[in-house]
Chains A and B, each alone.
Chain A
Amino acid sequence: RNTIALIELDQPCLAEREIRHFAEPILLLAHEDRERLLDAERGVTIEYRPSEPVYDPERSPQCFKEIVIEKGEIARGFAEADRIVEGEYRAGHQEQLYIEPNGVIALPENGGVTVYGSLQCPYYVHRALRVLLGLPEDRVRVVQTETGGGFGGKEEYPSMIAGHAAILALKSGRPVKLVYDRLEDMVATTKRHPAVIRHRTGVKRDGRLTAIEIDVLMDGGAYMTLSPVVLSRGVIHATGPYRCDHVRVHGRVVMTNTPPNGAFRGFGAPQTQFAAEVHMERIAEALGMDPVRLRETNAFRPGDTTATGQVLGNDCSAVKVLRDAVKRSGFRQKHRAWRGTNRGIGLSLFFHGSGFTGGGEVKLASKASLELTERGARILVASTEIGQGTRTMHAQIVADTLGIPYENVEVEAVDTARVPDSGPTVASRTCMVVGKILERCAREIREKLGKTTPRDYLAKNGSLVVTKEYAGPDGLYWDDDTYRGDAYGAFGWGCDVVEVEKDPITFEIRPTRVTTVQDIGRAIHPILASGQIEGGTAQGIGYALLEEVSLRDGRMANAQLTNYIVPTTLDTPAIDVTILENPYEYGPFGAKGVGEMPIDGPAPAVVNAIRNLGIDIREIPATPERILKASSSKSVA
């Protein structure tokens, strides 16, 4: 079937009658000689009958998904308020910009096809190929090759090019290699969803929030891809980590005639928490209140309920990370002292749910296996190493549970012919969810072994492979129809303080220091966990200040590293990381997710630092052009 199977089957592998965006694949050409292939391309003519494209999500004729979250009675909340603060916030596309572009090799093999590729989710590709080619499960094999970065950009897109390479390989009976160059990768592959977010908030004079009303509109691009789940995470995080009895969040993700947007680290939450945290700053300004005190007053505490009605446990550390970051950075003193200078300081408080949203983990029913070896154990999971430390961290969890040296644990290559489906490598779930399944496998092996050595056990009993399936904490409840219940097994908590300088001539904003405090339950490998926080923070700085996708007629006009600017060493400030460890009962050794949360905080903290300079910015990236424009209009009160 001509489709790239994901949530829906709406995206064709090759367009048949209609193209919805300019980068849509129509036909495939292959040749062993690259130069001759480019010649052949010149021989192809395609005639198009144009129709009116839609580039503005506000005018989209098609909604992919609409979600409403309701808590309490919003009208009552507004009636209780002393002040009502409104605002509209905008965030643009962001390109993942892994340094290794998307690429695959397909081989006709075993009456089917084998695909090697730079990818995050081998079983997504496996399913897409089965549906596309109509092949049985055992005729499709997907092997992950060493992957040069993903950040969500190799979550769903590899299914597309794997499909293209597989069709060519089956047609020609020869291996086919398909590697995008940078321009192709930037124009065609998925990006972070642009969003327009409107807030209307009721607040008491003392700073207590009485009503939060939020409207979220995301641009999904031409096909659905993962947009419904991106929206879901976005709306669930839209209030920021604040308690309020009366909440209404309305979210939509709609079609436009631009390349489909998709997964990118943070997955909807960076957009909505950017809006939430800049809005909080504006509420503090409206009340003439210290921004730290406003956040302290409203931040979630253990026992509070989120917008979906989830009751937070003792692992809720919002106030703790806030106070710690404020203290370490000297926020209050600098915030006062720097007013009227070219220096500014801003903060953001944020949270991030670990694992799939709502009933997602139950539906996935991930499996992981552990095989006893003579030296120790071999891990069998489909969770990929994409630079975040999967292999190291999983091996540590298994070694510590078995009580054996780390060196005695092996990790099997990610190959669908050999490893069970432990779910996609996304959603900050690889440690907390898959790591936990491995811990359970290891515990069972340890029990079975008793005092026997692995060598003796194997000699006596033959092989031993333990496979376990995801089992959530007891009492986790979610209703997808009403959007009520426990949205995530656990949330991580973070606070960023960003210091900036404004160049008075060029209007560039230079971040000079980030102080970040993040509670991730437990850092299984502190150097790797810090690396996730440092790297995610740097990407967040890029999102805030530099990274702008310019679309012209629905096509990325700056699809080059020359003019799509990601942070270099000179753009990245010193990043001072503190990890707090408030263990989560159901995570392996107390761990929660860490991969995504760090990208939620920098954008609002940067924009709030710019507000501290007296400049009213409500759209990111805060480029010099936007700073200039905002500086020449009215400034922050």
Chain B
Amino acid sequence: MRFTLNGKSRNVEAPPMKRLLDVLREDCGLTGTKEGCGEGECGACTVLLDGLAVNSCLVPFAQIRGSSVTTIEGLRGDHPLQHAFLVEGGAQCGICTPGMILAAAALPRGATRAEIRAGLAGNICRCTGYTAIYRAVESAAAGRPRRRRRN
């Protein structure tokens, strides 16, 4: 079945009812998408499906025919949100971080603190208490922080 994965057209054979989460991890080898609960509550498996943040544990593979899927690997490590999470302490153990960053990437431009809170309400972080995550999302939106110097 054909779909766009991280900007590239892919043809992947997998059972139609297989969870998108498992297709990504097992058939595509992209393990940046995490499983936290398998019931759509924790958001660790969040990916962007045609620009919308969805829980990939609840999406059957059949449903993504012709769609565009973005996983954390699609941000290639140099997205402003990734830098901001690093600098502001938005990630601690890191297991929720891929999903959290993709959910944050789907927020409207110039989102207020209240909108950020509402927009990330489907992503559970057990480490940070969310405060540093808000700081990271806001600083990425404001064009901060500066990129880290490479060695």
Q: How far is the CA of A164 from the CA of B124 in the complex (A)?
A: 30
Which of A527, A560, A566, A568 gathers the greatest number of chain B CB atoms within 10 Å?
Answer: A568
Q: How far is the CA of A527 from the CA of B125 in the complex (A)?
A: 17
- Do the beta carbons of B36 and A100 come within 8 Å of each other? yes
- Do the beta carbons of A147 and B93 come within 8 Å of each other? yes
User: Chain A: interface secondary structure?
Assistant: loop
Given A182-B39, A534-B131, A537-B129, A146-B94 contact (CB < 8 Å): yes
Q: Does B37 count as interface, using CB distance less than 8 angstroms?
A: yes
Q: Which of A78-86, A219-227, A413-421, A569-577 participates in binding chain B?
A: A569-577
- Do the beta carbons of B95 and A100 come within 8 Å of each other? yes
- Do the beta carbons of A388 and B92 come within 8 Å of each other? yes
- Do the beta carbons of A99 and B132 come within 8 Å of each other? no
Q: Does B126 count as interface, using CB distance less than 8 angstroms?
A: yes
In this complex, the interface size class of chain A, counting residues with CB under 8 Å from chain B, is 35 or more
- Do the beta carbons of A149 and B127 come within 8 Å of each other? yes
Q: Does B41 count as interface, using CB distance less than 8 angstroms?
A: yes
A366-409: CB near B (< 8 Å → 1, else 0) gives 00000000000000000000111100000000000000000100
- Do the beta carbons of A562 and B39 come within 8 Å of each other? yes
Q: What is the total of A-B residue contacts with beta carbons within 8 Å?
A: 109
Q: How far is the CA of A170 from the CA of B147 in the complex (A)?
A: 48
- Do the beta carbons of B89 and A99 come within 8 Å of each other? no
Given A528-B89, A569-B117, A535-B129 contact (CB < 8 Å): yes
User: Chain B: interface secondary structure?
Assistant: loop
Would you give the shortest CB distance from A425 to chain B, in whole angstroms?
Answer: 12
**Residues on B with beta carbons closer than 8 Å to the beta carbon of A562:** 39, 41
Q: How far is the CA of A538 from the CA of B125 in the complex (A)?
A: 10
- Do the beta carbons of B36 and A568 come within 8 Å of each other? no
Given A149-B127, A572-B129, A531-B89 contact (CB < 8 Å): yes
- Do the beta carbons of B129 and A534 come within 8 Å of each other? yes
Give the residues from 44 to 61 in chain B that come closer than 8 angstroms, CB to CB, to chain A.
44
**Residues on B with beta carbons closer than 8 Å to the beta carbon of A566:** 124, 126
**Residues on B with beta carbons closer than 8 Å to the beta carbon of A575:** 129, 131
- Do the beta carbons of B88 and A527 come within 8 Å of each other? yes
Give the residues from 127 to 153 in chain A that come closer than 8 angstroms, CB to CB, to chain B.
146-151
Q: Does A55 count as interface, using CB distance less than 8 angstroms?
A: no
B80-96: CB near A (< 8 Å → 1, else 0) gives 00000000110011111
Q: Does B118 count as interface, using CB distance less than 8 angstroms?
A: yes
Would you give the shortest CB distance from B135 to chain A, in whole angstroms?
Answer: 9
**Residues on A with beta carbons closer than 8 Å to the beta carbon of B89:** 527-528, 530-531
Which of B34, B93, B124 gathers the greatest number of chain A CB atoms within 10 Å?
Answer: B93
8 contacts between A and B (CB under 8 A): A99-B96, A99-B125, A182-B39, A534-B132, A537-B129, A561-B39, A568-B122, A575-B131
Residues of B at the A interface (CB closer than 8 Å) are 34, 36-39, 41-42, 44, 88-89, 92-96, 116-118, 120-132, 151
Given contacts A527-B88, A567-B129, 8 further A-B contacts (CB under 8 A): A98-B95, A99-B125, A148-B95, A151-B126, A535-B128, A568-B124, A575-B129, A577-B131
